[in-house]
Structure 1
Amino acid sequence: MVVGDDDPELSKQLDDALTAFNEAATSTAYGDSFSIKVTDGNSELVGGLTAWTWGGLCGISMLWVRGDSRKQGWGSKILQAAEAEAVRRGCDRVAVSSFTFQAPGFYQRHGYVETGRMLGIPDGHEDVHMFKRLTA
């Protein structure tokens, strides 16, 4: 047994092995991941999103908007684009988690409902898990 720092090769091996196991157990192939990227006139990142799909579910991994671009509607535009792309890829629901110091209220304003919380991480905050049904 070896304990060490981040190992990208191990991460890929584990991901490949778990994907194969999950697909065999469910007879459902994983969809492709996708991303949305917004840049400004200087090609600097304004915001973006990464997500994955599997079995009709879209999982939002990350959504971020640069501080000076918040309150300009970019988060909503990015989220709406992701939901439209998820529907295009055959998804009828989407899931995301957001820490209490991040944006659970943002997702709730967009129709997401809380399905659970992981308490006390980090340092007294909570990880809020949310879900939304999508319509075509």
Structure 2
Amino acid sequence: MNHDHDEAGLTVGDRDPELSKLLDRGLDAYNFAATGTTPEDQGELSVRAQDPVTGETVGGLTAWTWGGLLGIEMLWVREDRRRDGWGSRLLRAAEAEARRRGCDRATVSSFTFQAPDFYRRHGYVETGRTLGIPGGAEDVHFHKSLG
């Protein structure tokens, strides 16, 4: 791992797992205090889609929950299975689990070359965009009430 140092005490390099852990702890403490939430209000969530015949994983969803909010990080379905309804089933299962955990809203973003229309069809409303994604794309941000 190459690191460049400058006279101001900055170290620049590749991913630093120790620094990531330190930042997570620091930001969590700050965020909990600022929002009135606690570590118990935070969790991780995943949904795996498996072919019932072969047992092969055909896709999945990862997310987090925090203080009543579901944050979808990744949703992916194998290309040869994308017309089989797996994406909708994954999303519905994650939303149901989030509701069970007390969440009443959800957030997700999707690049314009990915699946923004998929989220719109499932009741997600666009709240903004981040420009400058490679290839001239945009990152579309969505919100949905789960109530």
Q: TM-score range by the shorter chain?
A: over 0.9
Specify which of 20, 27, 32 is matched with residue 23 of structure 1.
Answer: 32
Q: Quick check: 1:33 aligned with 2:51? A: no
Which residue of 1 is the match for residue 122 of structure 2?
A: 110
Q: Deviations over 1:52-93 (max 9, x none)?
A: 111211100111001111010000000000000110111000
List alignment gaps of at least 5 residues for structure 2. 1-9
Shift of residue 51 of structure 1?
A: 0.7
Aligned pair count reads: 135
Amino acid at match of 1:39: Q
Q: Quick check: 1:4 aligned with 2:13? A: yes
Shift of residue 114 of structure 1?
A: 0.3
- SS of the equivalent of 2:142 reads strand
TM-score when scaled to structure 1? 0.94
- State the alpha-carbon separation in 1 of the partners of residues 84 and 55 from structure 2: 18
Q: Quick check: 1:50 aligned with 2:62? A: yes
Farther-moved stretch of structure 1 (44-53 vs 86-95): 44-53
- Alpha-carbon RMSD across the aligned residues, in angstroms, is 1.2
- State the alpha-carbon separation in 2 of the partners of residues 6 and 115 from structure 1: 30
Which residue of 2 is the match for residue 64 of structure 1?
A: 76
Which residue of 2 is the match for residue 82 of structure 1?
A: 94
- State the alpha-carbon separation in 2 of the partners of residues 71 and 120 from structure 1: 30
- State the alpha-carbon separation in 1 of the partners of residues 61 and 22 from structure 2: 25
- SS of the equivalent of 2:34 reads helix
- State the alpha-carbon separation in 2 of the partners of residues 119 and 58 from structure 1: 24
- State the alpha-carbon separation in 1 of the partners of residues 131 and 35 from structure 2: 30
- State the alpha-carbon separation in 2 of the partners of residues 71 and 7 from structure 1: 39
List alignment gaps of at least 5 residues for structure 1. none
More strand as a share of residues: 2
Moved over 4 A (4+): none
Shift of residue 43 of structure 1?
A: 4.0
Shift of residue 9 of structure 1?
A: 2.2
Amino acid at match of 2:72: I
